[in-house]
Structure 1
Amino acid sequence: MAFESLTDKLQNVFKKLRGKGRLTEEDVKVALKEVKMALLEADVNFKVVKQFTKAVQERAVGQDVMNGLNPGQMVIKIVNEELVSLMGSETTELPLKQGNEITVIMMAGLQGAGKTTTVAKLAGKLKSKGKRPLLVACDVYRPAAITQLQVNGEKQGVEVFSMGDKQNPVDIAKAAIEHAKANQQNVVLIDTAGRLHVDENMMQELADIKANVNVDCTLLTVDAMTGQDAVNVAKTFAEKVGIDGVILTKMDGDTRGGAALSIKAVTGKPILYVGMGEKLSDLEQFYPERMASRILGMGDVMSLIEKAEAALDQDQAAEMQKKLKKMEFDFNDYLTSMEQMNKMGGIGSVLNMLPGVGSKMKDLEGMIDEKALDRTKAIILSMTPKERSNPGILNPSRKNRIARGAGVDITEVNRLVKQFEQSRKLMKQMPGMMGGKMGKRGGFKLPF
């Protein structure tokens, strides 16, 4: 996950500050020197680092902080606020028109940044919000680009407009808008051609599309893994073509995160979305305050709640809650819980958003055995419907048959059945978790 190293380093700095009863100006300077090094190592633009540490220092050496009851926490609060400011303060929404009026969004970016996948992800997100998107295949140069868009469009249930790879992208874009008008589609997403590096032909083609089509928003897709190169690419596109916002991809990878902290300050353009995985659902809106919270190891509970609400069927959750209270929870429900967890990105994704856990993910990764979860699913699917509904009938001969069907040893089946029974007993003993204060407040139940 992005920022792991930066989070660790910042938490070490803050630990030292918390240990002091009072802070001197020298304490602040020493701490900020370490913060500066941590940011530079995270590949944050050096001018941005300089401005950031200066802003923090000016606020941190004020009388209110130095004479406060908990100056260490005040410095952390200031760092948090300045990080939010650095990334844009406000969450930027796509400028979508109302009703049947068409919004035209042009997607730009270099090859390898994940532009074609990202435009399909965005189409799916807009569709889930009630929009009627149309994907437009204007990358007529890269082999299989059109096919890739068509495959992803089909998975998202979104139509893809294509005229093949022999037509001019400007003509394709113009025809696509007419097609959208005729078919009551109100968002047109144009997937343009990328190159291996910034060149005049690409820039000219983008300019030609904008000159012939009324583009409402130009979004640039950049690869977070490339660090400052991503920032330089964004700056070039902003100057030569004009962009309205950025989508950062591969933020779930082993990236130092510098691009996320630098782009807004260097280009003046906001980050609108971040790609957090390879699935077509792995596109998150970018919230500066939530990202700052993740960077500082404070978790991202709001995003976790939103993921849970999107993944959980409320009626299904209420029914499961009743079953748990009555000890009627069976292997069908167990399977449903696993599927809901997968919809939320898996247990690793959930843990990463919990306060204090994200920075320890490296330690926890060895404990999270995704293959073991797959084996558990295989075991449950090897049971008959009757066995899943009535775990009490699982005698040794049935367990042996299930083990053979799942391709596992009988000991794994026995272990799962034992864990399942222990879970049911635990749930019975903890009624507060199954509908206490959280239930009365309309809270959600995480599926694990």
Structure 2
Amino acid sequence: MFESLKKKLSRTSDKLEEEIIEEAKQEDNLQEEEGKKRSFFSFGRKKEEKKVDESKQIESGESTEEKPKEEKKSWFWSRSKDDDKEESADDGSDDEVGEIEVEEPKEEKKSGFWSRGKDDDEEESADDGSDDEVCEIEVEEPKEEKKSHFWSRNKDKDDSPEGKGGLFSFVREKTISEKHVEDTLWELEMGLLEGDVAMEVASAVVDSVKEDLVGRKIKRSSDITEYTYNALRNAVAEIIDVPGKSMTEMIEEKKAQGEPLVVMFVGINGTGKTTTIGKLANYYLKKGYTPVIAASDTFRAGAIEQVTHHADNVGVKIIKHQKGSDPAAVAYDAVEHAKAQGKELVLIDTAGRMQTNTNLMDEMKKIKRVSNPDLVVFVGDALTGNDATQQAVKFNEAIDIDGVILTKADADSKGGASLSIGYVIKKPIMFLGVGQGYDDIKEYDAEWMLNQLFSEDEAAIEE
């Protein structure tokens, strides 16, 4: 999901880093250090938790690597205090030979291959020390692995997802200024608009990022990536988190009063409104509630049959009249049925209509007046991007909607509607349609949405 928007967010970080590093080069103000460079999405919450776990594994790995070193000391290099005193009395040229002579009996216990008699020891003492060099190499290898966790390098592993080599670090402290971010943020704003993000939302994101970045002090290029990531994430988090009660909470509140929750669905033709009603009926049926559907779309040919098909598939009651009958009367009968039967949820389907059709919009107002719904929910198609936002604005002006459901969110590569619609009309997104099956619907969660936009999956942003 939202791959196009992910690319634009990542490109903002790369662009800003290019600007500042180029200036630092001209000022002769940077120093190149080899090491792995962290990608934009590696600063995500999940990635950070993963890296903490990896660092613990590295530390535990070092402790396990030291064990063989300690074992070698215990059988090959260990010396008793008396032996140390004897060796200290010898001259420097006999130290290495003395060490081998002391350890020979222990080697016989450990391995027959390395065991040597006293005659062999005398011959070894006359050798050129090549065996000693082998022993030194065995001790030195773990020492190389004890380097810093972040900058440690392994020549045999060049396929790290973080990249390798050439991470520039600033020698003297630099500060991000407005001139550094001007071109970068202009490019970000244009990219958001191309991704069907509403103008006011794009401007809000850019202003927030600018305020967060300008004045930041940096010492190395990875600081730029981290600061940009956090600035963008914070800006988007404020945009997508519109407060509001969930439908489930409202059902419980109405149930405590002995009343059903009445929900009226509005939107234009083809957005998946009727299918969404079937999904919600199935969703709340599995939660232990008893929904009823009102077939108040009496204008469109086949509409009653379509909603009846969904009701039969999920196993809920449907209230319907003849085609061409008064849609408000159908809604009223469904509400009365729910009250009489003790059902907790009424889902009212209405005819799809363009927001510019005055007559049909007036008819929708009548349905609202007669059924007195607790919620009026606009159903929009996420793939239509900014059009869905504009439709929601018009419906909100005409009938005062309470929330939004976006369909086809799983197929949305741009993310413009998901980012914009709630912020523009100041009403929460309540559900997202994420597939074609009855189970393919999920309650909207701003944190989940944020993680989708700032996923650590680098494959999702490859060109």
Q: Distance in 2 between matches of 1:254 and 1:89?
A: 20
Q: Distance in 1 between matches of 2:352 and 2:293?
A: 16
CA contact (8 A) 2:8 2:192 kept: no
1:176 is matched with which residue? 334
CA contact (8 A) 1:92 1:271 kept: no
1:41 is matched with which residue? 194
2:255 aligned residue (73, 76, 98): 98
- Compute the displacement of 1:197 (Å): 5.1
TM-score by length of 1: 0.63
Q: Distance in 2 between matches of 1:281 and 1:40?
A: 33
CA contact (8 A) 1:60 1:66 kept: no
Are the structure 2 counterparts of residues 72 and 160 from structure 1 closer, same or farther at C-alpha, using a change threshold of 3 Å?
Answer: same
Describe the superposition over 1:147-174 as per-residue Cα deviations: whole angstroms up to 9, x where unpaired. 1111111222222111231320111111
Q: CA RMSD in A?
A: 2.3
**What amino acid is aligned across from residue 187 of structure 1 in structure 2?**
L
Could you tell me which runs of 5 or more consecutive residues in structure 1 were left unpaired when the two chains were aligned: 299-354, 364-448
CA contact (8 A) 1:169 1:209 kept: yes
1:294 is matched with which residue? 452
Corresponding position: 1:283 with 2:441: yes
Corresponding position: 1:124 with 2:282: yes
**What amino acid is aligned across from residue 134 of structure 1 in structure 2?**
V
Describe the superposition over 1:265-303 as per-residue Cα deviations: whole angstroms up to 9, x where unpaired. 2211111111111111111212222212212233xxxxx
CA contact (8 A) 2:197 2:419 kept: yes
1:190 aligned residue (348, 353, 359): 348
DSSP 3-state at the match of 2:233: helix
Residue pairs, 1:16-415, within 5 angstroms: 17=17, 21=169, 24-25=176-177, 26-63=179-216, 66=218, 70-88=223-241, 90=243, 92-94=245-247, 95-96=250-251, 97-99=254-256, 100-196=258-354, 198-298=356-456, 355-359=457-461
Q: Distance in 2 between matches of 1:145 and 1:278?
A: 18
1:320 is matched with which residue? none
TM-score by length of 2: 0.61
- Compute the displacement of 1:144 (Å): 1.2
DSSP 3-state at the match of 2:411: coil
Percent of counterpart pairs with the same letter? 34
DSSP 3-state at the match of 1:201: helix
DSSP 3-state at the match of 1:205: helix
Q: Distance in 1 between matches of 2:168 and 2:357?
A: 54
Are the structure 2 counterparts of residues 8 and 117 from structure 1 closer, same or farther at C-alpha, using a change threshold of 3 Å?
Answer: same
Describe the superposition over 1:231-255 as per-residue Cα deviations: whole angstroms up to 9, x where unpaired. 1110011111110011111112255
The higher radius of gyration belongs to: 2
1:426 is matched with which residue? none
- Compute the displacement of 1:221 (Å): 0.4
Describe the superposition over 1:317-338 as per-residue Cα deviations: whole angstroms up to 9, x where unpaired. xxxxxxxxxxxxxxxxxxxxxx
CA contact (8 A) 1:297 1:359 kept: no
Describe the superposition over 1:2-51 as per-residue Cα deviations: whole angstroms up to 9, x where unpaired. x2112123223334546664662244334323322221110111222112
Could you tell me which runs of 5 or more consecutive residues in structure 2 were left unpaired when the two chains were aligned: 18-39, 41-166
CA contact (8 A) 1:246 1:271 kept: yes
Are the structure 2 counterparts of residues 23 and 126 from structure 1 closer, same or farther at C-alpha, using a change threshold of 3 Å?
Answer: farther
DSSP 3-state at the match of 1:155: helix
CA contact (8 A) 2:185 2:210 kept: yes
Are the structure 2 counterparts of residues 184 and 358 from structure 1 closer, same or farther at C-alpha, using a change threshold of 3 Å?
Answer: farther
Q: Distance in 2 between matches of 1:133 and 1:91?
A: 22
DSSP 3-state at the match of 1:73: helix
Describe the superposition over 1:53-76 as per-residue Cα deviations: whole angstroms up to 9, x where unpaired. 01111122144x657983421221
Q: Distance in 2 between matches of 1:261 and 1:281?
A: 24
Describe the superposition over 1:332-363 as per-residue Cα deviations: whole angstroms up to 9, x where unpaired. xxxxxxxxxxxxxxxxxxxxxxx445446xx9
CA contact (8 A) 2:4 2:413 kept: no
CA contact (8 A) 1:231 1:263 kept: yes
**What amino acid is aligned across from residue 4 of structure 1 in structure 2?**
E
> How many residues are treated as equivalent by the alignment?
303
Q: Distance in 1 between matches of 2:242 and 2:334?
A: 36
Q: Distance in 2 between matches of 1:285 and 1:131?
A: 16
DSSP 3-state at the match of 2:184: helix
CA contact (8 A) 1:246 1:269 kept: yes
Are the structure 2 counterparts of residues 160 and 259 from structure 1 closer, same or farther at C-alpha, using a change threshold of 3 Å?
Answer: same
- Compute the displacement of 1:113 (Å): 0.7
**What amino acid is aligned across from residue 269 of structure 1 in structure 2?**
K
DSSP 3-state at the match of 1:164: coil
CA contact (8 A) 2:242 2:426 kept: no
